[in-house]
Amino acid sequence: MEKSVQMGTNRTGIDMSPLQSKVMISGAAAATPTGGSEAELHELGKEYIRNAGVIGTVPLPGTLRGALKAMKDKLSGKHTEILLNKMGERLAFERSGVRVYECFIAKCEAAAAAGTLPAAVDLDLLRQFCIEEAQHFALLRDVLAGLGADPTAQTPDADVAAVASLGLMKVIQDPRTSVTQSLEAMLSIEMTDNAAWELLVRLAREMTMEAIGDQFHQAEEQEDRHLSTIRHWYEAAVREEAGLDAAPGTH
Ligand SMILES: [Fe+2]
> Rounded to the nearest whole angstrom, what is the distance from the C-alpha of residue 89 to the centroid of ligand 1?
14
What is the CATH superfamily name and number for domain 38-242? Ferritin, core subunit, four-helix bundle (1.20.1260.10)
Mean pLDDT score, 11-16: 88
Query: How many angstroms is it from 9 CA to the middle of ligand 1?
Result: 38
Residue 111 CA to ligand 1 centre (angstroms) = 22
Distance 93 CA to ligand 1 centre (A): 10
What pLDDT does 205 receive?
92
Tell me what pLDDT residue 152 has.
94
For residues 201 and 217, the answer to whether their CB atoms sit within 8 Å is: yes
Q: How far apart are CA 95 and CA 99, in angstroms?
A: 7
Q: What is the CA radius of gyration of the chain?
A: 24
| pLDDT (tens digit per residue) in 209-236 | 899 999 999 999 999 999 999 999 999 9
pLDDT of residue 59: 83
DSSP track, 4-61: S--------SGGG-HHHHHHHHHHHHHTS--SS-HHHHHHHHHHHHHH---S------
Residue 248, pLDDT score: 60
Please give the average per-residue pLDDT across 236-248, as a whole number: 87
CA of 91 to the centre of ligand 1 (A): 12
Mean pLDDT (whole number) for 61-69 = 68
Domain ranges of the chain: 38-242
Give this prediction's pTM. Answer: 0.88
